[in-house]
């Protein structure tokens, strides 16, 4: 079978299309025939070697996969079941989805909701599943559409794109933060009501700013997240899920102790299975499926190698679905 295989040895760091044998797949109680995978930011980090996300070599990247169970020793799955996998260290410490087959722990799998095809599920992928977890966090902290604007940063990326679509369908007024003016029509088409240039948030700001946001979904971190917190309305909530600008948080406690702001951290990698199923069921219920074709670009395994470089350079938008069988 073909796969992207990453190696690191005395000759350097390489990522290339390779032919591997099923016997080389790591241990696991479920063998999945992969239909589609995705190219996430973390996958691009792995393929380009820009960050040490790969923990062992050789490694097949791909933190997402959707496909059909080919063999199962797990009680919850049988041959022919359609399944989805997001995270759990797959593509980092355990061979991932950018291959035609994957052998994994059945506890990591979620049944594919009948509302989605495998291709649609990968258009959503970890990015969309994370966006849903963020929306659910806002809801759990009492953020409702009547309270005011919701800010979404990294808006043209995978998390941002799905988050805007979800929030808009749920009736929220969404402001999309992006550094690419050419994506304005795309973001408005997903349901954003206004666009903010990311430069307004990316520099050092005040400990407290004028109250504006009822809630926010942030995939950027650093000064951007600090400035979001500073401009939250009283009792507002920020769901933080990314670090595209940086992993630091140069903020003060003032928004939290003077305005009762909540900073909700969103982990998608090791989220309990019950939460995963809830998120996927909500996606089936609340996502505008008509937006998926706009958000998605289909690529091959070979194209994923070059697209990873473009993604790292910030030259892409939306989601990249990888047809591992083409």
Strands 2-9 and 12-19: antiparallel
pLDDT score, position 315: 87
Q: For the range 298-302, what are the long-range contacts, defined as Cβ-Cβ under 8 Å and sequence gap of 24 or more?
A: 298/119, 298/322, 298/323, 299/39, 299/323, 300/326, 301/2, 301/3, 301/4, 301/17, 301/98, 301/326, 302/17
pLDDT score, position 17: 97
pLDDT digit string (tens) for 186-211? 999 999 999 999 999 999 999 999 99
**Coil, helix or strand for 110?**
strand
Q: What angle do CA 113, 29, 79 make, to 5 degrees?
A: 50
Low-confidence ranges of the chain (pLDDT < 70): none
CATH homologous superfamily of 125-265: NAD(P)-binding Rossmann-like Domain (3.40.50.720)
Nearest to 221 by CA among 205, 244, 239, 204: 244
Calpha distance 193→161 (Å, rounded): 13
Is residue 199 a contact partner of residue 205, using CB atoms and an 8 Å limit?
no
pLDDT score, position 220: 97
Q: Give the alpha-carbon dihedral of 208, 210, 212, 213, to 10 degrees.
A: 0
pLDDT score, position 11: 87
pLDDT score, position 249: 97
* Sequence spans of domains, the chain: 2-112+293-323, 125-265
pLDDT score, position 305: 97
Q: What CATH architecture is 2-112+293-323?
A: Alpha-Beta Complex (3.90)
DSSP structural state of residue 113: P
- Across the strands, what pairs with 38? 321
pTM for this entry: 0.95
């Amino acid at each position: 079978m073909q796969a992207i295989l990453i190696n690191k040895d005395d000759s350097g760091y390489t990522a290339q299309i390779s032919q591997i044998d099923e016997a080389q797949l790591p241990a696991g109680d479920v063998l999945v025939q992969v239909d589609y995978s995705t190219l996430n930011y973390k996958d691009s980090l792995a393929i380009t070697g820009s960050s040490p996300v790969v923990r062992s070599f050789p490694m097949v990247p791909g933190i997402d996969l959707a496909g059909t169970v080919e063999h199962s020793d797990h009680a919850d799955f049988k041959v022919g079941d359609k399944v989805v996998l997001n995270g759990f260290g797959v593509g980092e410490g355990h061979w991932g989805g950018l291959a035609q087959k994957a052998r994994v722990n059945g506890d990591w799998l979620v049944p594919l909701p009948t509302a989605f095809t495998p291709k649609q599920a990968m258009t959503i992928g970890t990015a969309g599943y994370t966006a849903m977890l963020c929306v659910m966090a806002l809801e759990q902290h009492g953020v409702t559409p009547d309270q005011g604007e919701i800010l979404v940063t990294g808006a043209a990326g995978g998390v941002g794109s799905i988050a805007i679509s979800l929030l808009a369908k749920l009736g929220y007024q969404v402001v999309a933060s992006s550094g690419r003016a050419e994506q304005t029509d795309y973001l408005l088409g997903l349901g954003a009501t206004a666009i903010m240039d990311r430069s307004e948030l990316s520099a050092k700001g005040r400990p407290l700013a004028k109250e504006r946001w009822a809630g926010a979904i942030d995939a950027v971190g650093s000064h951007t997240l600090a400035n979001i917190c500073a401009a939250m309305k009283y009792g507002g909530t920020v769901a933080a899920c990314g670090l595209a600008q940086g992993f630091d948080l140069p903020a003060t406690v003032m928004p939290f102790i003077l305005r009762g702001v909540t900073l909700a951290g969103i982990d998608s990698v090791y989220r309990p299975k019950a939460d995963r199923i809830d998120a996927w069921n909500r996606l089936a219920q609340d996502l505008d499926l008509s937006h998926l074709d706009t958000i998605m670009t289909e690529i091959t395994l070979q194209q994923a190698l070059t697209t990873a470089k473009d993604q790292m350079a910030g030259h892409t938008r939306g989601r990249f679905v990888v047809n591992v069988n083409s």
